[in-house]
Amino acid sequence: MKRKSPGFLDLLETFLNDYMINSEGLSVNTIKSYKSSFRLLLEYMYAEKSICPDAVTFKTLGFDTVNGFLNWLEQEGEGLLHRDTQPAACRAFIFRQIRAEPQQC
């Protein structure tokens, strides 16, 4: 029997709650910022793209989606602070997944 691959949310949870703390040793505030970034991204995906959080995949997070998300942040009043930190959170997660499990991306 073939084992089911973990979904995007499972991988994200492992990244935020295990890898970021144990492997990277990042501060609590940095991890909170990353969690906030992804919470907003999932909110955007649902509100603007009609994609439920459990349906988000790496394929749904292309350039146009991420750029639209950053523009949405500015329009929603989240401001440039988030626009500057969002790519860092996404990039760290995606690069980690590419190194760890490239078949998932």
CB 96, CB 15: distance < 8 Å: yes
Give the global pTM: 0.76
CA–CA gap between residue 41 and residue 32 (Å, rounded):
14
CA–CA gap between residue 36 and residue 34 (Å, rounded):
5
Reading the chain (105 residues) residue by residue, the pLDDT tens digits are 455 667 889 988 988 888 888 876 778 888 888 888 889 889 999 999 999 999 998 888 888 888 888 888 878 765 545 556 666 776 777 767 777 666 655
Residue 71: phi, psi to the nearest 5? Answer: -65, -40
